[in-house]
A and B are shown apart, each in its own frame.
Chain A
Amino acid sequence: MALSIVHRATGIALYVGTLMLAWWLIAAASGPAAYAHVQAFTGSIIGRLIMFGYTWALMHHMLSGIRHFVWDLGYGFKANEREALTWGALIGGIALTVLIWIIAYAIGGGR
């Protein structure tokens, strides 16, 4: 139950985060100097924390959203099923986030 507020909070965080996406794409279109600027930010400690938070928000919101689909279709309302879906979204979101970052660093994103 308490997780629905997390779904809402991550949705709002992702909403604001689209500014980052737009900034990044515009910088890529503008040229090397602008792009280097964005990378200086995303490469900083704060930038990395934000990126990590964004990854988690996206992964959690996605799984939690899929949980909503299950309910929309009329399944998963029993107490134990609700528990399982909720924990699945929680643990799955963290697991996917960590996995993505391990892969990112493994392929050299952490430079």
Chain B
Amino acid sequence: MSTADTPKRSMRTPLGRVRNLGAAHSGTSDFWRQRLTAVAMVLLMIPVVVVIMMLLGRNQAYAKQILGSLPIAIIMVLFIIASAWHMKIGMQVVIEDYVHNEKLKLASIMLNNFFSIAVALASIYAILQLSAGV
């Protein structure tokens, strides 16, 4: 972090500098990571949508073949990592905005972490299993 007396040119707006400094004291880096993961998802959006469209109305054998192929598995895993990370940060901001009871806030933030990690791991595990089976 640059200190206040060393003015640097920054891409951040004033609002951007103070967002996310809430209960978890995670500082502005979460702000950056939320942008990073969002940009990643924008880049991955077209391939991911194409993959999903290829699978519509097809059977499991075909889904297994497509999802298990290396480049597609990598794209899907990257998208899952980006979205789980992004949504964990985003939901934490929402919790910090609405939940003001300190204990409830910590419990919600914990649940949020568990949920995000569990969903990501379950999805990644499924893709790895599909890849291994090909």
Residues of A participating in the B interface, judged by any CB pair closer than 8 Å: 8, 11-12, 14-15, 18-19, 21-22, 25-29, 31-32, 34-36, 62, 65-66, 69, 71-74, 100, 103-104, 107-111
Contact = CB atoms under 8 A, between A and B. Distances in A.
Nearest to A15: B87
Interface in B26-40: 35, 38-39
Contacts, number: 90
A66 B42 contact: yes
Contacts of B35: 69, 72
B63 interface: yes
User: In which size bucket is the chain B interface?
Assistant: 35 or more
Interface of B: 11-13, 16, 35, 38-39, 41-42, 45, 49, 53, 56-57, 59-61, 63-64, 67, 76, 80, 83-84, 87, 90-91, 94, 119, 122-123, 125-127, 129-130, 133
A56 B90 CA distance: 19
Contact of A25 (B61, B84, B87, B123): B123
B38 A65 contact: yes
28 contacts: A11-B94, A12-B91, A15-B87, A15-B90, A18-B83, A21-B119, A21-B123, A22-B122, A25-B67, A26-B122, A28-B64, A28-B67, A29-B64, A29-B125, A29-B129, A29-B130, A31-B60, A32-B59, A32-B61, A34-B60, A35-B63, A62-B41, A69-B35, A72-B12, A74-B11, A103-B53, A107-B56, A108-B56
Chain A at the B interface: SS class: helix
A109 B57 contact: yes
A12 B94 contact: yes
A28 B130 contact: yes
